[in-house]
Structure 1
Amino acid sequence: MKLYIAPYAPNPRRVIMFIAEKSISSIETVSINLQEGQHRTDAFKAKSPLSQIPVLELDDGRCLTESRAICTYIEALIPDPNLMGVDAFERAHIEMWDRRMELLFSVPLMMWVRHGNPMLAAVERNQTAEVASFNQGQAMRMAKWLNSELASREWIAGDRFTIADITAVCGVDFAKMNRWRPGDDLPHLKRWRDAIATRAAGQVAA
């Protein structure tokens, strides 16, 4: 299998971290240069019609896009260590938290960076200051709420590391481009981020 990625982009990193936590070494990675528009070529659109990354290309040529879908496929192939739940309730509970982290935390952080950082102007062609400001506010409110949630447990979805932690940290680390990281004003969120750095998934470059 081949995984098409863009170095340091948060959505591909979500899959790379998922793979790292499972100690999978059999998936080849292929880098796509977004600044040069390689994701918009006809050859790449044959794999990803919406020019999105990541893309997982199976050995038979079939392709999957969307990072969550790719992780679901990998989890089914290699269920241990489990990152998405072992029974019906836990799977739903982890997905609930994963969706919260994606839609309410990581996406606002990413949109803040994409619309507020001049370095990404070639990727985000219509950068808008108002979009950056709105999403920054949403992300900071969510960071405070998540900090309070993490006061009573080690990981986002409970007492063990899951895909919800991966999804959240991809947004947090992407926001370093805008010089933001959880600090002493968010001690539980900072403790959580520091704990991820000690794991296999945390060794994936951001």
Structure 2
Amino acid sequence: MIFYDCSTAPNPRRARMVIVEKGLTVETHDISIAEGQQLSPEFLKINPRATVPVLITDDGTTLTENIAIATYLEAVHPEPPLMGRTPDEKGLVAMWNAIVEFEGGVAVAEAFRNSHPAMKGRALPGPMDLPQIPELAERGLARVSAFFELLNDRLSETPWLAGDAFSLADISAFVFTDFARVIKMRPPEDHAATHDWLERMRARPSAAA
């Protein structure tokens, strides 16, 4: 396998954490988004959509989405399971991962890409140059605040997002919550369930990935 990473971006970090949780060592190439390497002719041959992460499987298949990479790694390295053991668990992991991506990941990206000077003209990932929209940044900040409420409510009911077991959904939520620092947002101090969960997440070796 060959993994195309970016050490500063949240989405590749999600895939890195899955790789670490699976106990795998994978050939890795770092693609600097800050330097625009994802737009280079060499990388566009690998992924014309100009996004990371990318995983080239042992059979040469190119996977360019986190859910695809996690699904592949779960299939070829099922232990430890990150996408549920029973049908119900699998459904809950898929559900909460999707919720986290839309309510958390998209919200943070909306605020960051539409406000940060480094993202000027790059309001969306991919090959197109698109202008920032300040109103979307404001909406993103409001959505992140709502996401933190959603996260704490769920974690007040169950130790991990999808139930009793750590899963891909926790990885996604942790990465997006951590990356919210770039828009100067953090879970409120009185969100005790979230902070307990964050402590347990940070104690995992994959958190340093």
User: TM-score scaled by structure 1?
Assistant: 0.92
For the residues of structure 2 that align with 1:7 and 1:67, how far apart are their CA atoms? 15
- Give the counterpart letter for 1:23 in structure 2: G
Aligned to 1:181: 186
Distance 1:135 1:48, change over 3 A: same
Q: What's the RMSD between the two structures over aligned residues?
A: 1.6
* Secondary structure at 1:183 match in 2: coil
Residue 5 of structure 1 and its aligned partner are, at CA, apart by 1.1
Aligned to 2:57: 58
For the residues of structure 2 that align with 1:76 and 1:36, how far apart are their CA atoms? 34
Segments of 5+ residues of structure 1 without an aligned counterpart are none
Aligned to 2:144: 139
Residue 169 of structure 1 and its aligned partner are, at CA, apart by 1.2
Distance 1:163 1:140, change over 3 A: same
* Secondary structure at 1:185 match in 2: coil
Aligned to 2:208: 203
Aligned to 1:43: 42
Aligned to 1:12: 12
For the residues of structure 2 that align with 1:76 and 1:60, how far apart are their CA atoms? 14
Give per-residue Cα distances to partners, 1:56-99, cap 9 Å, x unaligned.
12344431111110111011010101000112221111101111
Identity %: 34
Aligned to 2:119: 120
Q: Is the 8 A contact 1:110 1:171 kept in 2?
A: no
- Give the counterpart letter for 1:22 in structure 2: K
* Secondary structure at 1:4 match in 2: strand
- Give the counterpart letter for 2:14 in structure 1: R
- Aligned pair count reads 203
* Secondary structure at 2:111 match in 1: helix
For the residues of structure 2 that align with 1:189 and 1:50, how far apart are their CA atoms? 34
For the residues of structure 2 that align with 1:43 and 1:144, how far apart are their CA atoms? 42
Aligned to 2:126: none
Greater CA deviation, 106-115 or 168-177? 106-115
For 1:23-172, list aligned pairs within 5 A: 23-25=23-25, 27-121=26-120, 123-124=122-123, 125-172=130-177
Larger relative contact order, structure 1 or 2 (CA cutoff 8 Å, min sep 6) = 1
Segments of 5+ residues of structure 2 without an aligned counterpart are 124-129
- Give the counterpart letter for 1:102 in structure 2: E
User: TM-score scaled by structure 2?
Assistant: 0.90
Residue 170 of structure 1 and its aligned partner are, at CA, apart by 1.3
For the residues of structure 1 that align with 2:55 and 2:108, how far apart are their CA atoms? 25
Q: Is the 8 A contact 2:82 2:166 kept in 1?
A: yes
Residue 123 of structure 1 and its aligned partner are, at CA, apart by 4.2
Give per-residue Cα distances to partners, 1:30-59, cap 9 Å, x unaligned.
111212221112221221121111111234
For the residues of structure 2 that align with 1:178 and 1:138, how far apart are their CA atoms? 12
* Secondary structure at 1:30 match in 2: strand
- Give the counterpart letter for 2:65 in structure 1: E
Give per-residue Cα distances to partners, 1:86-133, cap 9 Å, x unaligned.
122211111011111111122211221222222333643522211111
Greater CA deviation, 6-15 or 120-129? 120-129
